[in-house]
Amino acid sequence: MRSKAMAMIAGLFPVEGMTPTEGDDYRRQVTLDICAALGTPGLTSRADVDKDTGMLLIDTLQAMVDEEVAYDIASGKLFQLSTGEVIGFARGDG
């Protein structure tokens, strides 16, 4: 499950121009921020993502691939693209 999520994150959040370490740090933070937006704040490592959160993360990433949901990195919000409605939690609201 973790490898699927990481592959999806890599496809959705490219890291051109970053060193491998910077890219890994960026993707780790995006993963943790999306988990927070999904209602699981406070994770400090991808290893902290439990099975239930991981399944929700994969479903959310698939919705991004399907262009149903978008994630705004600056605000930490997930949006339903068809309505513009915020779904989940904003950064700090979890």
How much is the average pLDDT of 1-27? 93
Task: Classify residue 52 by burial, with Cβ atoms within 10 Å: 0-12, 13-18, 19+.
Answer: exposed
| 94 — pLDDT class (breaks 50, 70, 90) | very low
- Asked whether the predicted pLDDT for residue 2 surpasses 60, the reply is yes
Strand order in the sheet with 86-87: 69-72, 77-80, 86-87
Q: Can you tell me the distance from the alpha carbon of 61 to that of 74, in angstroms, rounded to the nearest whole number?
A: 17
